[in-house]
Structure 1
Amino acid sequence: MASLKKDITLIGGIGQMSTTLLGTGLFMVPAIAANIAGKDLLWAWWMLIIAVCPIAMTFAALGKRFPNAGGASYFVKQAFGSRLEKSVALLFISVIPVGVPAAIAIAGGFAQQLLPSFLATPIVSQLLIVALLMVVNFAGSKSSSRLQTAIALGILALVGLFLWKGEVNSYDSVPHHLASIDMGNIGNAIAVMFWCFVGIEAFAHMGEEFKRPDRDYPIAILVGCLLAGAVYYSFSVVVLKHNAYGTPELNTTSVPYLANLLFGAKANWIISLMGFLACFATINLYTQSLSRMIWSLAREYKPESSLAALSTRGVPSKATAIVGITLALSCVFGQLSGIDIEIFLTLANGIFVVIYLFAMWSAVRLLEGTGKVLAMIAMALCMIVFVFIGLAMAYAVIMLGLIWVAIPKFQARKTHATKQ
């Protein structure tokens, strides 16, 4: 049976994990959440980061015990069998035409500021990003992890500059007035802020490619989550101090607004570059994860097919090409249809919450002792987020139901065709 190359180091894993979580969220979520929670935003971050710890630790424990390119669906298989594994895997793959193109559209908006005028159109910039994704992914996971580590260092430096120029002090950095906080607003803010920690499930697909998965994979998840949480918290402090929120337009342009306020208009190109790189880092890992999910299914159930083959660099080339073509077509459709990006993001968010929920449920069945207790806490937290998201979960639940019903029918037809 073919195996992926073990090229990812601890530092590279931390870089991949942290940049995946930062991505598009850094440029929207702190200001949107501040608009909801106001001065209580810092309390919301503390609560969310504490809540995410059991989820991250559970993913770390599962990945250490079951390092596999199938990620969350492989964990589900160990706990519940192959039918639910396929359902969760296909649910994750269904994010290709909705979630990733939305992130590409956001990255394309930054890229347009950097491209020459004849290329600075939405559809061209997005297709160029897809092409760049294919170049990076075909180069192998080692090159990809190095790139994302460099991006992570760049984001840390940028947020450090915002803190310095924003004259943030120790008083600004800690939450106040615990007795008067509004838990309703904090809960609504956390439902939005959970987007910042969507990505742990994608990183689960990379466990098989770590040089030392038993040691480095859990550390990469935990350190990456804490590092991303610290960056989000620090930037939120700057947003609050300089009131970079309050209107729909300002909520989505808080980073350029702060850059112009603190550094002047000449710094806008740096923000555009870092915005593009941060978004690209997230999209890159999802592209890797999706291709490995397709490859993992082929390796498990149809190992003789060309989808299960690897290139000389250890890359699932055909699966990667399928993801790339689907992304390109989805970007074109998104532009021509004029569907709002927020709709795509909402649909994708529901899918991720369902995958988290099943991964945590699997951990309850697979882990023992402290690991089982943490998994139960994590599962309860995922249920709370599920409730907060509300009707937006309908798409993911319906998709999972349709896939669950379709799998045995598809298998029956395949068996019948084989007999004939």
Structure 2
Amino acid sequence: MLPALTAEEAGPASLLSWMLMSLLVLPIALTMGRLASAVPDSGGVVSFARRAFGDRAAYLLGWTMLGSIPIGVPVMALTGAHYVGSLFSLSHTGTTVLAGALILCALLLNARGIELAGWVQVVVIVIIALMLMIAAGGAAPLVERESFEPFLPHGWASVGLAAVTIFFCFCGWEMIVPLAEEFRNPSRDIPLSLMTAALLIIVLYLSIVAVTVGTGSYGGTGGLAPLSLLMEKAFGSAAGAVTGALALFITFSSVHTNIAGFSRMIYAQAREGELPGWLAKLHPAHRSPIAALYGCGAVFGGVLLYYGTAEPSLAWLVKWPSAIFIFSYIVVMAAALRLLPAKSGGRVWAGLSLVLCLAIYAFSGWAAGFPLVLAAAGALFAFLRRKPASMKSAAGAERSSAPGKSPR
């Protein structure tokens, strides 16, 4: 969906935004690979912050990253819903309700402890790659030079604004970090894995962006289901319908998996006292993190309610989780400057990535304040959790004198 949304935002010049992000992702992936092999820790990027800047920085980064999924999951659900909506001409409200139904179904399955099998994820990845390759190859003969004129209809600033939106597509490298301890040769295999992945997605993204812009498959009623539009132009209406159905399956799988991982992360942090304790409650029968799932459902519902009533653009909505990812990468790249060996080339790549991430973060607008608000909320919770010594002493005396209880 994002190639079409960024084309609406920056016109054909959105190609420059995607090229910029393609260049940025290489040093980021390389730095993340160097960090994962040099500091193999299942704690992921938060552990990098802890080693470089201390426990407080790691705690605040953890709180900051909590804000990505509550908006990211509704965006994923809305993506699939818009593909089906374009197929059946659903209204904005109907599309939003369908997205809500997707999320509700995933929440109910997670509450019962039903996890998608690993092979489902492999199938999803293969389908996405095949769809992108077929759409790009089939639509390539339909590209017209006139579609790239005027090339810069909204000015140079739109290129930077589109880059913030695009960051949502180029994040996730940190997810391999918790697996570093399981690699036999992490110093070789992790950087190789990440660079291979980076090159593959760069080719796929730039190909689909070029044909999306070159065939004018954005804007209007098909603007939020561009892949169906491309497939329909290349292979007929049946191909567009199949693409819409597959998009729903793909997005449901992503929604289900993200909810599963995020709810367990909330549960783990609540169990450790880093979030309110009630979020650590488990389902009595299925042992699933039911309280965390309730909390997720409430936040997802609020985001969808806002989307359904205020009708913001999805590109605007994506900027908020993108700002969190950019912020977290800024922290990680700064950590890399302290953790990687001074004589290695890793610090050079980390410094370059840090500068580029800061430049893109400057285009985030109001969304740039979102990570700071989340960090402030974490700091406030930590402050409220600590009782003054006098209060603790009084509470201890009360417990020791309570009926039926002996002092310990």
Query: TM-score, structure 1 length as denominator?
Result: 0.73
- 2:166 aligned to 193, 198, 217, which one? 193
8 Å CA contact 2:83, 2:228 repeated in 1: no
Distance (Å, rounded) in 2 between the aligned partners of 1:211 and 1:327: 36
1:109-148 alignment to 2 at 5 Å? 109-110=82-83, 121-132=98-109, 138=115, 143-144=117-118, 146-148=119-121
Partner of 2:251: 279
8 Å CA contact 2:87, 2:244 repeated in 1: yes
What SS does the corresponding residue of 2:363 show, helix, strand or coil? helix
Do the aligned partners of residues 408 and 382 (structure 1) sit closer, same or farther apart at CA in structure 2, a change above 3 Å counting? same
Distance (Å, rounded) in 2 between the aligned partners of 1:91 and 1:148: 27
Partner of 1:364: 337
Asked if 1:261 corresponds to 2:233, the answer is yes
8 Å CA contact 2:142, 2:215 repeated in 1: no
Distance (Å, rounded) in 2 between the aligned partners of 1:69 and 1:192: 29
What is the alpha-carbon root mean square deviation over aligned residues? 4.1
What SS does the corresponding residue of 1:388 show, helix, strand or coil? coil
Do the aligned partners of residues 318 and 86 (structure 1) sit closer, same or farther apart at CA in structure 2, a change above 3 Å counting? farther
Partner of 2:402: none
Measured after TM superposition, the shift of residue 189 of structure 1 is 3.0
Asked if 1:326 corresponds to 2:303, the answer is no
Distance (Å, rounded) in 2 between the aligned partners of 1:168 and 1:232: 18
The amino acid of 1:350's aligned partner reads A
The amino acid of 1:103's aligned partner reads M
Do the aligned partners of residues 56 and 134 (structure 1) sit closer, same or farther apart at CA in structure 2, a change above 3 Å counting? farther
What SS does the corresponding residue of 2:137 show, helix, strand or coil? helix
Distance (Å, rounded) in 2 between the aligned partners of 1:104 and 1:128: 11
Counting matched residue pairs gives 373
Identity of aligned residues (%): 22
Measured after TM superposition, the shift of residue 233 of structure 1 is 0.8
Asked if 1:162 corresponds to 2:130, the answer is no
Partner of 1:65: 38
Asked if 1:34 corresponds to 2:7, the answer is yes
Distance (Å, rounded) in 2 between the aligned partners of 1:406 and 1:30: 39
Measured after TM superposition, the shift of residue 286 of structure 1 is 3.6
Partner of 2:406: none
Partner of 1:376: 351
Range 42-51 or range 277-286, more displaced: 277-286
Measured after TM superposition, the shift of residue 184 of structure 1 is 4.3
Do the aligned partners of residues 405 and 228 (structure 1) sit closer, same or farther apart at CA in structure 2, a change above 3 Å counting? same
1:348-363 alignment to 2 at 5 Å? 348-363=321-336
Distance (Å, rounded) in 2 between the aligned partners of 1:85 and 1:271: 41
The amino acid of 1:219's aligned partner reads L
The amino acid of 2:300's aligned partner reads C
Measured after TM superposition, the shift of residue 208 of structure 1 is 5.1
Measured after TM superposition, the shift of residue 289 of structure 1 is 4.7
Partner of 1:56: 29
Measured after TM superposition, the shift of residue 298 of structure 1 is 6.9
Do the aligned partners of residues 208 and 169 (structure 1) sit closer, same or farther apart at CA in structure 2, a change above 3 Å counting? farther
Q: Structure 1: give runs of 5+ residues left out of the alignment.
A: 1-26, 311-316
What SS does the corresponding residue of 1:244 show, helix, strand or coil? coil
Partner of 1:87: 60
Measured after TM superposition, the shift of residue 81 of structure 1 is 1.0
Do the aligned partners of residues 71 and 112 (structure 1) sit closer, same or farther apart at CA in structure 2, a change above 3 Å counting? farther
Query: TM-score, structure 2 length as denominator?
Result: 0.75
What SS does the corresponding residue of 2:123 show, helix, strand or coil? helix
The amino acid of 1:330's aligned partner reads V
Measured after TM superposition, the shift of residue 358 of structure 1 is 0.9
Partner of 2:401: none
Measured after TM superposition, the shift of residue 132 of structure 1 is 4.9
Do the aligned partners of residues 131 and 51 (structure 1) sit closer, same or farther apart at CA in structure 2, a change above 3 Å counting? same
Partner of 2:400: none
Distance (Å, rounded) in 1 between the aligned partners of 2:317 and 2:162: 20
- Give a deviation string over 1:246-270, Cα, whole Å, max 9, x none: x364432322222222222222332
8 Å CA contact 2:34, 2:187 repeated in 1: no
8 Å CA contact 1:200, 1:221 repeated in 2: yes
Measured after TM superposition, the shift of residue 80 of structure 1 is 0.9
What SS does the corresponding residue of 1:98 show, helix, strand or coil? helix
Do the aligned partners of residues 89 and 402 (structure 1) sit closer, same or farther apart at CA in structure 2, a change above 3 Å counting? same
Asked if 1:402 corresponds to 2:388, the answer is no
Partner of 2:200: 227
Distance (Å, rounded) in 1 between the aligned partners of 2:50 and 2:300: 32
Look at both structures and tell me which one has the larger radius of gyration over its CA atoms: 2
8 Å CA contact 1:111, 1:273 repeated in 2: yes
Asked if 1:103 corresponds to 2:72, the answer is no
Measured after TM superposition, the shift of residue 275 of structure 1 is 1.8
- Give a deviation string over 1:83-114, Cα, whole Å, max 9, x none: 11111112212334333233233334456799
Measured after TM superposition, the shift of residue 76 of structure 1 is 0.5
